[in-house]
Amino acid sequence: MKRDIRLAVLLLFVVCMSLSLATAWQIWSARARTLAEIATHNLNLTQTLDTYAEGIVTQSAMLLLGLAERLETEGTGPEHMRRLHQLVDRQEHLLNQLNGLVIYDARGDWLMSSNGSVPEGANSADRAFFIHHRDNPSQDIFIGPPIRSRSTGDWVITVSRRFQDLRGEFGGVISITLGIENFLRLFGKIDVGDQGAISLATTSGQLLVRYPFREQDVGRDFSKSQNFLRYYSGAKSGTASFKSGLDGTERIYAFRTNERYPLVTTVALGREEALQTWRQQSLLIVGVVFALLVIIVTIGRLLILDIKRRIQAEGSLVDAREDLLQANRQLEVLAAQDPLTGLANRRCFDEMLKLESRRAGREGAPLSLLLLDIDHFKGFNDTYGHIAGDECLRQVGEQLQQCVKRPGDLVARYGGEELAIILPNTDFSGALAVAELLVERINARDIAHSASPLGRVTVSIGAATLHGAQAQGRELELIEAADRALYRAKSAGRNRVEG
C-alpha cells in the first residue's frame, strides 16, 4: 500500500507539472503569436504609409520636372514667372500636402512664390537644399531636412531640384515645401495607442516627421545611434524591439525603406500597450489553472489521506489476523500438548499413530510403539505429594525427549503416569534398543523414590512392532501388544523392557 501512496504522489506531481508546463507553453506561444501579429500589422501599415509618402514625393517630382523644363527653355523673365505662377495655381489642388512652391535664381534670390508676392530681398542661399543643388550637378530631386518656411512660418519638408540657364549653367533651384502638419494629420488618424509612434525619416538617419509631434525632435539626426546602426542601416525592412532614444519608451518597431526615394517609414507600438491584452488573458489563464491546480492538489491530498487510512485499517486487520493466527497456533499447540509435561497429549498421540500406521502400510515400513509406566508412582505421590509427582513426570518426559530426537518420532503422555513413544520406520530390535537406553537414562537421573524397592524412580517399558501392510488400520492391535508387553515387564519385577 505504501507503493500506492508513492504512485498517487507521483501521479499528482506529474499532473500538476504537466498542467503547469502546458500552461506556460501556451502563454509563451500566445505571446509569440501576439508579437508576430503586431509585427505583421506594423509592417503592413508601413507599406501603406510608404506608398503614401512615395506618391506625394512622386507628384512633387513630376511638378518640379515640368517647371524645370519650362525654365530651361523659356528662361526666368518676369512675364514667364507670371505664367508659371498661374500654372502652379491651377495645379496646386492636385497636391494637398503642398505648402508652397518657390523658384530661386543662381544667387538664391526668390524669383517666384506660390504663396503670393515675393518678399523684398528674400534670399535662401543658406538653405541646405540650395547649397546641395548649387554644388551638385545631379538633376535628381533632393529631399531636404525639415525647416521653417520663411513665407508661412510653418514646419515644412523641401523637395527640390536644380535647373539650368539658357547657357547650360546652374540657373537656380525649384523647391516644393510639404507641410509637416499635413503628414501629422494623417498619422494622427492611425491608432497606435498612447505610447505608439509613426515617423518618416531619410535613409541617412535624419528625422523628417514624427507623430506624436515634438518640436525638439524635428530634424533630429540619429544616424550615429546604436539602434539605427543595428537595425536600420542597410536594411530594406524589418522589425525590432528597443527603447527609444527620443523619449525612453520601449516600443515594438516595424520599418520599411522606400525603393525609389531615400525614405524610411517606421510604425511603432508601445511594448506594454501591445502586450496588455496578452497579459490580461495570461493572468486569466494563470488564475483558472491555479484554481484547477488547487482543486487537483486538494483532491489528491484527500485521496492520499484516504489511502493512508486504508493502509492503517488494513494494517490493523493484518495485525488482528496475525494475532488470531498466533492464537490459533497456540490453541492448536495447546490442543495437541499435555499441559503438565509439555509432551503430546492423548489426542495428538491417537492421530499421529493412525497417520503413521497408514504410512507404514503404504510404504511397507515397520512401525514400533513403546509404552512406559513409572514404577510405584502411586507410592511416590503418597510419599512426596502430588506436586512432587507432577515434577517427576516432567523430568521423565524431558529425559524421553532428549533420547528420542528423530523428526518423525513422537513422545506423548498416554494417561496418568503412562507415557508412549511412536517410532516410525523402526523395527523391533531398534525399538528394544531405544527402550533399553531410556531405562538406563531414567536410572542415571537417580530421582529419589523411597516407596520403591530400588530407592529411585524407574520405568517399565513394553515394546511392539507391526511390519508393512500389517500396520495399516491395526493401530489398536499395536497398542494392545505394547500394553501386554508392559504388563509382562511390570510382572517380571519392573525397571525393565519387554516385547
Query: The domain that contains 120 carries what CATH number?
Result: 3.30.450.20
User: Has residue 129 got a pLDDT over 80?
Assistant: yes
Q: Does position 452 have pLDDT exceeding 70, yes or no?
A: yes
245 shares a domain with 362: no
Q: Is the confidence at residue 1, as pLDDT, over 60?
A: no
For the chain, what is the domain count? 2
Co-location of 290 and 352 in the same domain: no
Give 463's pLDDT tier (boundaries 50, 70, 90).
very high
When pLDDT is cut at 50, 70 and 90, the band that residue 121 belongs to is confident
Report yes or no on 122 lying in a domain: yes
Counting residues of the chain whose pLDDT is more than 90, the rounded percentage is 33
Determine which of 286-300, 317-331, 458-472 has the lowest per-residue pLDDT on average: 317-331
Domain match, 387 and 493 both: yes
CA Rg, the chain, in Å?
A: 62
At 324 the pLDDT is: 81
Q: What would the grid cell of residue 293 be?
A: 491546480
Q: Higher model confidence: residue 492 or residue 117?
A: 492
Tell me: do 244 and 113 sit in the same domain. Answer: yes
Whether pLDDT at 173 is above 60 = yes
Q: Is residue 336 one of the residues assigned to a domain?
A: no
290 and 363 belong to one structural domain? no
* Domain boundary residue, one of 239, 270, 299: 299
Q: Are residues 179 and 245 in the same domain?
A: yes
Same-domain check for residues 354 and 292: no
- Contact partners, residue 394, CB within 8 Å, separation at least 6: 340, 341, 342
Interval 334-373: pLDDT, tens: 567 888 888 989 999 999 988 888 888 888 889 899 999 9
The answer to whether 177 touches 43, Cβ cutoff 8 Å, is no
Instruction: Tell me, yes or no, whether 316 lies in a domain.
Output: no
- The predicted structure's pLDDT at residue 216: 86
| CA gap 492, 29 in Å, rounded | 110
Give CA–CA dist 345/410, Å, rounded: 10
pLDDT for the residue 372:
94
- pLDDT (tens digit, 9 = 90+) per residue, 145-164? 998 887 778 899 999 999 99
> Does residue 269 contact residue 196 with C-beta atoms inside 8 Å?
yes
Q: Which three cell numbers stand for residue 46?
A: 508601413
**How does the average pLDDT of the chain come out, rounded?**
87
Q: How far apart are CA 354 and CA 481, in angstroms?
A: 16
Return the pLDDT at 168.
84
Q: pLDDT > 70: what percent of the chain?
A: 95
* Closest of 216, 181, 189, 212 to residue 199, by C-alpha: 212
Question: What pLDDT, on the 0 to 100 scale, is given for residue 335?
Answer: 66
Can you give the pLDDT at residue 464? 92
Asked if residue 278 is part of any domain, the answer here is: yes
Domain identity same for 32 and 175: yes
- What pLDDT does residue 266 have? 93
- Boundary residue ending a domain (236, 267, 299): 299
In 10 A of CB 121, how many CB atoms?
A: 7
Residue 356: CA atoms inside 13 Å, Cβ hemisphere, count?
26
Is residue 337 in some structural domain?
no
Domain containing 421: what range?
Answer: 346-498
223 and 89: one domain?
Answer: yes
End-to-end Cα separation, the chain, in angstroms: 62
Is the per-residue pLDDT at 472 higher than 80?
A: no
Is residue 432 in a domain? yes
Q: What is the pTM of this model?
A: 0.60
Residue with C-alpha cell 523428526?
407
pLDDT in tens, 218-250: 888 888 888 888 888 778 989 988 888 878 889
- The residue among 469 and 16 whose pLDDT is bigger is 16
Domain shared by 396 and 253, yes or no: no
In this prediction, residue 175 has a pLDDT band, given cuts at 50, 70 and 90, of very high
Band (pLDDT 50/70/90 cuts) for residue 15 is: confident
Residues 270 and 360 in one domain: no
Which of 235, 267, 299 marks a domain boundary?
299
Q: Is 332 within a domain? A: no
Examine residue 274 and state whether it is found in any structural domain, yes or no: yes
Does 243 lie in the same domain as 372? no
* pLDDT (tens digit per residue) in 296-333: 888 888 888 887 888 788 878 888 888 787 867 666 65
CATH number of the domain enclosing 465: 3.30.70.270
